[in-house]
Amino acid sequence: MNAPSPPLPPTPGLVERLVRDPNAIWMREMRQSARLARTPWVLFALTLTLGLLMCSIGGLAAASDTTPATIGGALFQVFFSIAYLVVVLVGPAVAANGVASEREGRTWEAVLLTGLKPKDVARGKFLAAYTTIALYIVVLAPVGALSFLFGGVTATEVVVAFVFLFLVAGLTVAFGLAVSSLMSSLRGAIVVTLMLAILIGPVLYFIFGFGASFGIHKLWNEVPEAFPIWLPLAYSRGTLGLEYVLLLLAVPLLIIATPAWFLYEATIANLSGEADDRSTGLKRWFFFSTPLIAIACAVPSAVADDDEARMVLSVAGLSTFALYLAFCAFLFTGEPAGPSRRVRVHWERERAGLMKRFFGPGLPKTGMLVAALGFACVWLIAFGDMGLIEVFGSSAKKAKYIEEVFFFALYTAGFFLFVTGLTAWLRSRKQTPWIARLVAAALLFLVSAGPWVVAAIGGVLAQHHGDDWLVIGAPSPFYALYMMSWLDSSYSRADVPVVEIGAAMSLLWGMFGIALLGAAAQRSHRAVREHDAAVAAAEAALRAEDAPPEPAPVPTEAVAAG
Amino acid sequence: MTVEAVAAIALVAPAPKPAIRVRHLWHRFGKLDVLRDVSFDVHEGEIFGFIGPNGAGKTTTIRVMATLLEPMAGKVEIDGWDVTIDPQAVRKVIGYMPDHAGVYERVTVREYLEFFADAYQVPTAGTTYAVVDAVMELTDLTKLRDKLVATMSKGMKQRLQLARTLLHDPKVLILDEPASDLDPRARIEIRDLLVELRSMGKTIFLSSHILTELADVCTSVAILERGRLVVSGPISDIARRLEAAQVQPPAAPPPDLGPPPMGMAPSEWSAPEPPPAPAAVAPTRNVRIKALAPGEAVYAALVSMHGIHSVSPGPAGSVVVRYAGDEQTVAAIVRTLVLASIPVVGVEPERNELERIFLEVTKGEVQ
């Protein structure tokens, strides 16, 4: 009888693990940061500047007839707008140091050889940069808390705003780290990160701050209009309902979680070796995020209050989703032709199932996944929005709006298949990912702008019926907008089949894209076969070389003597 | 059983597995083949010197061995693990010190080593790092444990790096130019440390282009030139092979005739008579002799001796004797001088064995 096996020790929880066995990289970076003499001075200067600014605004407003509540509201907006900018600029800059400084300082190889997994390195670097930026926020907290003393905003709203500031800080740090993991020069990493942060940060501030505040004010009057920091206020001032759940819980969660997950997977992929599995994480992210993003793109249309707004928001959602899909097509241009020998050996050892292998590296299956899921989700948005217009629509132009959404989605889907096929095909020609991306971008620019140049020249030369020349723009994806405006206009000319040409072009793009995907798959399979044959031949040669020599025949008389 | 029978059995008995096994390694950067069919073995407990001029491909080979670079063709095994298939397993058995590696400046020696002990997941009792203490003791860093790395000298930092590579008790140490840019004292200290590590059973693979650095410590060497391995094996074996090659020059390969001239059948097209083989020549070497006598006296004593090619004045009052032969000839030279009442106070080869091998097998080409 077997003795009972001793009970397994309980798995320590997250907090216990953090306390007993904290991430080694995080701890080391904290020790280094603690010895950096300039940090307290930078924090002091920042707090002093912002404190003085807030006091000046408060003092000036108090001198006028403004009510304390208005002053409190204004201070809240000013403080959190500045804090947002600080976080958006400082967070990525701090994180950009992470991996690039190790690579430049030639300490990276030593870390890599310790056997630390890329995810442990990424987490350690993230925690280190996040601790620094969190320190900035904490130091600024007393200044930010000044606003609710005046009224106009509640203490809860200030706390919620700080929570969002911490979440945004997490995203910016993850972004800086992802860029840093891609680069080997520290200066390069900081410059690229800051340039992108300066470009993207204010754009997001205006879209999701100023821009969205008008729509939210329309929905809930209590939320002030044209105030960029509206989200923390909307939680206490919005009315509970479907819109509340969608706009204040689901969408913010998605907007934060999806890029955070992507940046995490991208960092891990960048930190992994070329022969490692760098695809599974990103493909898993694409698989789960794409339907959620598609739904999020359809949400604004769902909460619109008239048919035209619903159609416009539907097209805006489709356009946003198309941009997302184009980004993904370019992202997966980094895929190798097939899984490396290392990946395949490890799959064999762990008896990996079909699903694991499908999500693993390989250009053909990745291309197929991106094309199929992207195509399906475009139609998910389109049919969802068309259904909403059909069900809730009341205007006379309802059918026309449905047509517009349909043809816009048709062109989007067809052209997306072409983009996916083109990037995969270019990559399969053994070009490096960045060359393939550059060539694809150049070709797409030509396809998008070229036809309009020809159409414009033709229109000028023809003088009469200049508009007819616009059908030459059919190969360009912007033709979808022309189709919509043509459908929307009250006149229609039978002699210019604008929509039919657009639909035909969309189908052509789609079929061309599928053909390119097929060609890419064929090339990739061939490359994998050739590589396998070369490896097998080399292995056979090595085995033959290593085989022990045939034993020399033992002389008969020697055996007899023995 | 006869000797032949035992020999036959010994032939099929499994040979001890080498600690490092490099087979037909090729690597290319752009259009440049930096490694071309490099193969060698490093046996357990050896100090193996990897020699070659700058740009010969030493660092590329080492980076492949350290799992930092994917080989384009060929196979590299460390302690039986394939670097292409199982890099994580390889990383557990190697300690790698790169050339001109950086260190974290704003931590103390102890913190630096504790970080790597944590990263290697070296077992610790609570917050006590016994391994760190042991490694600091071994590398003579205990006195500096609370010193900031930024304030340490280059030699100390190099020693710290070596300490870092020892934390997880690796079987194989791969050191790329471990003594480059160090002052003489630091070099001697590193050399002594390597000898000590070898006595602890470690296999040490170190690259250098400074031959004197390797000559005293290495048991075997491999010489790389323009990405091709020129020679490898124990130093004494290589020296013997070279001497044998010089004494008995290999038969010249048949000349490449190319296609037969127009109008001539291939059967009629035959090689001309090969030139007569050159007479066997014993290798010539130089030995520097310091004697308490004028150079003329030394010359007079040795000039008629068999095998002496020349006697010329050397540095610091010594004479350089060029001779053909081996160590027996050197003994004969000394004996002759002593018999001629010339007191000999120093005898040393003008070049050490390794330098001689290097000069004989390489052509001085770089890529």
Give the start-to-end residue ranges of the domains of chain A: 22-262, 273-529
Structural contact between residues B129 and B137, judged by C-beta atoms closer than 8 angstroms: no
Higher pLDDT, B241 or A438: A438
Q: For B345-362, b where at least 16 C-beta lie within 10 A, e where not — what string? A: eebeeebbbbebbbebbb
Supply the pTM of this predicted model: 0.82
A114, closest residue in chain B (CA to CA): B120
The predicted complex's ipTM stands at 0.82
More confident residue, A160 or A37: A160
Cβ atoms within 10 Å, residue B311: 22
Q: How confident is the model at residue A464 (pLDDT cuts 50, 70, 90)?
A: low
**HSE of B303, CA atoms in CB hemisphere, 13 A:** 7
CB A539 within 8 A of CB B24: no
* Test mutation, B91, B115, B157, chain A, max A CBs within 10 A: B115
- Determine which of B106, B113, B120, B172 to mutate to test the interface with A (most A C-beta atoms within 10 Å): B106
Higher pLDDT among residues A176 and A303, named by residue: A176
The order of strands in the sheet holding B20-29 is B32-42, B20-29, B73-78, B81-82
Task: Supply B159's token pair.
Answer: 């020693």
pLDDT digits (tens, 9 = 90+) for A368-410: 999 999 999 999 999 999 998 988 888 888 888 999 999 999 9
Q: Do B119 and A342 touch (CB under 8 A)?
A: no
Strand partners, B234: B220
**How confident is the prediction for chain A on average, in pLDDT?**
87
Q: In the predicted model, is pLDDT for residue A558 greater than 60?
A: no
Mean pLDDT for A295-312 is: 86
Share of chain A above pLDDT 70, in %: 91
In chain B, which residues have their Cβ closer than 8 Å to the Cβ of A547?
A: none
- What pLDDT score does A285 carry? 96
A540 part of contact set with chain B, CB < 8 Å: no
- Predicted pLDDT of residue B295: 82
Instruction: Give yes or no for a contact between B68 and A112, defined as CB atoms under 8 angstroms apart.
Output: yes
The predicted pLDDT at position A559 comes to 45
Burial class, B201, CB count within 10 angstroms (exposed 0-12 / middle 13-18 / buried 19+): exposed
Residue A13 pLDDT? 66
Model confidence band, residue A6 (pLDDT cutoffs 50, 70, 90): low
Cα A184 to Cα B299: distance, rounded to the nearest angstrom: 63
Q: Is A128 on the interface with B (CB under 8 A)?
A: no
Tokens of A127: 């925690």
Q: For each successive 10 residues of chain B (367 residues), what is the average pLDDT?
A: 43 64 88 88 92 87 92 90 93 91 90 93 76 90 92 89 92 89 80 88 87 79 89 80 59 42 41 45 75 85 84 82 82 89 84 71 63
Q: Cα–Cα distance between A253 and A259 in angstroms, integer?
A: 10
pLDDT band at A21 (very low <50, low <70, confident <90, very high): confident
Instruction: Tell me the residues of chain B between 94 and 133 that have a Cβ less than 8 Å away from chain A.
Output: 94, 96, 98, 100-104, 106-107, 111, 115-116, 118-121
CA B353/CA B332 separation, integer angstroms: 20
Q: What is the pLDDT of residue B250?
A: 45
Residues of B in contact with A119 (CB under 8 A): none
Distances (CA, A) of A560 to B1, B2, B4, B165: 8, 10, 13, 56
pLDDT recorded at residue B6: 41
Rounded mean pLDDT of A341-355? Answer: 92
Residue A131: band (very low, low, confident or very high) from pLDDT cuts 50, 70, 90: very high
A528 and A338 Cβ atoms separated by less than 8 Å: yes
Distance of alpha carbon A405 from alpha carbon B87, whole angstroms: 52
C-alpha–C-alpha distance, residues A223 and A278, integer Å: 44
**Which domains can be identified in chain B, with CATH numbers?**
20-234 (3.40.50.300), 284-361 (3.30.70.100)
Terminal CA-to-CA distance of chain B, rounded, Å? 55
Q: Return the residue matching tokens 């304390």.
A: A68
Query: Which chain A residues are closer than 8 Å to B103 by Cβ?
Result: 107
* A384 token code pair: 């969802």
Per-residue pLDDT, A263: 96
The predicted pLDDT at position A149 comes to: 83
Rounded to the nearest 5 degrees, what angle is found at the Cα of A403, between the Cα atoms of A398 and A496?
125
3-class SS of residue B154: helix
- Distance CA(B344)–CA(B334), nearest Å, equals 7
Tell me the pairing of strands B284-291 and B220-225: unpaired
